[in-house]
Amino acid sequence: MSNVIQLQDNGKNLSARLKAVLDGDFADSRDAARAFISRPDMAVVPPDTPKEEYREKTLGWIRDMVAAGFTTLPYDPAFGGGGERQKYMNIVEIIAHHDMSLAVKQGVQFGLFGMSIESLGTERHHAKYLPDVMSGKLLGGFAMTEMAGGSDVQGISTEAIYDHATRSFVLSTPNEGARKAYIGNAAKHGEMMVVFAQLKMSPESESMGVHAFMVPVRDKAGNTLPGVTIDDCGHKVGLNGIDNGYLSFDKVRVPHDGMLDRFAQIDQDGHYQSEIKKKSQRFFKMIGTLVTGRIFVSMVSLSGAKNALTAAVTHAEERKVFGETLLDKQATQARLLPHLADAYAMHFMTRHLMDEYQKGNEYLETMAAAIKAKSSDAAMRTADEARKLGGGAGYMSEQRHGALRNDIDIFRTFEGDNTVLRLLVAKNQLSRLSKKFMQVNAFQKVTKIAALQLKRLFAKFNAESGKTERDHFLDPSFQNKIFAARERTMMYMLSDKIQKIAKAENAAVAANKTQVDMIAYADAYAERLMLQKFTKAVAAQKDPEVKAILKDVCDLYAVHTMRENGLWYVENGLMKPQTTTALRRLERELTEKIRPHAQMLVDAFGIPPGVLACAPIPPAPPPASPPAPPKQP
């Protein structure tokens, strides 16, 4: 009995040490956020709460975040902020465990709205708006998406026509398809919106491209302003604590200083000025400043996955099935533990994204796009698996599995549709590859070099492709090399395919006929990044027990991902069929090895029990005592 107690204590101690690794330099801030969401007044909203009540509850929580001092953290100290964006994002990641509507609404207010003012505006905008944004006195939104536009933001139709006589812009919605759609904070609470529109210097002139404008939509009493039409999006599949709405404008005048003019200005003589000459380059420069939104979605998606995993593992540890726990079953281990390994890999990857943001990495947009798509898809699969594992109880609204899954679902769409983001990743990487070759025949040179590199690559891996030894697959060097080999091979093959189709037909046809390859490449790119950062995190550990368990989890991520991509490796000569068979055996071995530590691994996420997606299983009643025999007369 004493040995069992000692093992349990060691498990708790290891969980605490692992939590310290995951929390990193932001442990105090993350613990403050855990305490914040554990307060009695932060009780989870019941599933049958009307959306109107839920919206007001969420707004009250926003006020509570302001009172707690959280909301000044991400802004520049020059504007009264704390200058600690990473600290704030860590806090929001924890808050997302409690309520996704709150996490997203604060993202609209203090991220999209506030950060677009900071990133796209100049000093006069910062001084005028940011103090009230941080304090919640000025509630706003981010009006970019249009009904007919979807992901084609460069092609939006809302117009802002400059009128030099009044030094103002006339903002109009030219048709029904140009209505701003699904805008957070629009239906009820927002007073001002950052509105994206095509800037024209006269009604007949060509557009200067997409620009952002500060547009009041309500007065302080909540009345819609003249020329503005607001419609409520109504009840949604999830995130009903957010008041999403439709916006349209009928000749709404915006003063000259209402344009956020960091990248383009209109001078005193009414002339358009910008150091960035091409409007497409201006557009991407403007959008690039908002990349933190995609990092935010990755982190909040990860919060959803961690919540679902903690609930599912806890349930599987408690649930008895024919004399064993559900987690003792091989099928359950196969269903849950690869998702757990993926969550750990994503955790270290999102930390890397935040670090690279601070450094100003020029490739951050590409990395953030790839990881946003990967993390939101993975979170959805994890939440769905957790719901199914809960059986009939998991389908009950009180368990929150369905609510969590529904809330996560939209993350695959906003901040960039995942399919479009994956195409963007491949396009950016192709451009990066071809920048080395400035001549017209760039792709031909790329293809020739690629062929030489591939020959060396295949020669190396063919010598090892039949190996099935355990240590071979668990070698971090081999793992990283074969992930990188897959990514590089896919890129070279993609560039070659595009060049051949473009030569036979044209560039537009080539771009369309390689989209499936581009999407697959983007995931290979994300997987390589995730493994690279995970193995680096393992190597950095000084605590031998923490290092050992993280190594096992990292190995499971690597082996599971290799096995899932096994057909590609075989088809392209980097593995033999017996290799994938060995990978399958090794994956089972790793899940069995990790199984005793599963509860400790999810406990290390530090999620307060009251916000988990699944309530504890009530203990079974004691067996009834047999009735006493009747007394003999």
Tokens of 626: 């047999």
Looking at residue 360, the DSSP 8-state letter turns out to be T
Tokens of 160: 């802002």
By the 10 Å C-beta count (0-12 exposed, 13-18 middle, 19+ buried), 257 is classed as middle
Report the length, in residues, of the chain: 633
Distance CA 46, CA 58 (A): 13
> Which one of the listed residues 118, 159, 365, 415 is annotated catalytic?
415
Using the Cα atoms of residue 461, residue 463, residue 469 and residue 472 in order, give the sign of their dihedral: negative
Q: How far is CA 579 from CA 461, 557, 570, in A?
A: 12, 17, 9
Query: Residue 180: phi, psi to the nearest 5?
Result: -70, 135
For 163, the 3-state DSSP assignment is strand
Helix axis angle, 577-594 relative to 544-564, nearest 10°?
140
For the question of residue 415 being annotated catalytic, the response is yes
Tokens of 71: 């909301």
Give the DSSP H/E element, type plus range, for residue 570.
helix 566-571
**Alpha helices (runs of H) in 24-145, residue ranges in sequence order:** 27-37, 51-67, 85-98, 100-106, 114-120, 123-135
Q: How far is CA 589 from CA 66, 476, 555, 560, in A?
A: 48, 18, 11, 11
Active site residues: 415
